[in-house]
Amino acid sequence: MSNTPVKVAVTGAAGQIGYSLLFRIASGALLGPDTPVQLRLLEITPALKALEGVVMELDDCAFPLLAGVETSDDANVAFDGANLALLVGARPRSKGMERGDLLEANGAIFTAQGKALNASAASDVRVGVTGNPANTNALIAMRNAPDIPQERFSALTRLDHNRAISQLAAKTGAAVTDIKKLTIWGNHSATQYPDIFHAEVGGRNAAEVVDDQAWVENDFIPTVAKRGAAIIEARGSSSAASAASATIDAARDWLRGSADGDWLSMAVASDGSYDVPEGIVSSFPVTTKDGSYEIVQGLEINEFSRGRIDATVQELTDERDAVASLGLI
């Protein structure tokens, strides 16, 4: 076991997602069974008391890998020396809202946190954004942290990826472990495009196995894209345990690597691949290794997929323009 704990900062630590996320990180689900972790938790001042209760519960678990917990309402303190920062804290949407409605309310959080990361985080920091609207919040944090390479920022579309795997497995009668190479393109929003044209079910092309374009268009894509709203409708509050689980999956695979013969969906700074303009954070198929990612290249994009990718990318460029006009980037 390495003796140096990895410092993981989590924002919004007293919130719903935090309540699932922290215990799994402390148990080793993110960094593995041999790596001690120090948690550095950020909350707004009124939530510090609730956070104290969460820390009491973390203590009470006596997690062997948990090498300390620091709490603060100051981002510079919470991010001090952080090797991984999971930016969860933001207001969730409620019934009837789209995630983009949160741009102004939440965008300001990410300017301040980008600056604090730039000033305080470790030189190897990786930043994963879960708080909505996640893609554009990641863009805001990235643009406010000019000394951190932009490849160190990502936004969460792994929940959408996992949702799509689950739906495709149910449709085909396959196990979730039989589904590979699924892609979420674009925004973590209702315009996202879950793409099965390159996916595999038990080694066979998923679109051929399904052989039902009407299901893809009228059932699969809307079910995945609107799953967050369906959960808000059913639970009365937004997804939390599944969002925490996806946040762990995404960070774990980023740091520890994707499986051979498969890829993941991550929203990252576009380098122009697949004609997605530079200057936005958009979801792509990626492979990962040791804290780096590579966008999978050379996939053939059919006409249907092109239209869907263009639509979700348009929404991201509109969001970018909106936060630029708010002076956030």
Q: What angle do CA 305, 308, 311 make, to 5 degrees?
A: 150
- For the stretch 188-215, what's the b/e string if a residue is b when 16 or more beta carbons lie within 10 angstroms of its beta carbon? bbbbbbbbbbbbbbeeeebbebbeeeee
Rounded to 10 degrees, the C-alpha dihedral 221/306/319/44 comes to: 50
**Residue 134 CB, nearest approach to ligand NAD (Å):** 4
Written as six digits, the tokens of 160 are 């959408």
Applying the rule CB under 6 A, the residues between 161 and 200 that interact with ligand NAD are: 188
188 an active-site residue?
Answer: yes
105 scored as a contact of ligand NAD (CB under 6 A): no
Could you say which of ligand NAD, ligand LMR, none residue 231 binds, taking C-beta under 5 to 8 angstroms by partner kind? ligand LMR
* Catalytic residue (choose from 40, 158, 188, 252): 188
37 scored as a contact of ligand LMR (CB under 6 A): no
Q: d(Cα 37, Cα 276) in Å, to the nearest integer?
A: 37
As beta bridge partners, residue 184 has 194
- For the stretch 57-75, what's the b/e string if a residue is b when 16 or more beta carbons lie within 10 angstroms of its beta carbon? ebeeeebebbbebbbbeeb
Applying the rule CB under 6 A, the residues between 224 and 253 that interact with ligand LMR are: 228-229, 231, 238-239, 243
312 scored as a contact of ligand LMR (CB under 6 A): no
Binding residue for ligand NAD, selected from 86, 174, 243, 286, defined by CB under 6 A: 243
Question: Of the two residues 209 and 240, which places its CB atom closer to ligand NAD in the complex?
Answer: 240
**Any binding-site annotation on 132?**
yes
Q: Quick one: how far is CA 166 from the chain centroid?
A: 17
**Any binding-site annotation on 218?**
no
Binding residue for ligand NAD, selected from 6, 9, 10, 109, defined by CB under 6 A: 109
Question: Of the two residues 37 and 86, which places its CB atom closer to ligand LMR in the complex?
Answer: 86
Strand segments, DSSP code E, in 43-168 are: 66-72, 84-87, 126-129, 153-155
Query: Which chain residues interact with ligand NAD by CB under 6 A?
Result: 11-12, 14-18, 42-44, 47, 88-93, 109, 130-132, 134, 156, 159, 188, 238-240, 243
Show which residues are catalytic. 188
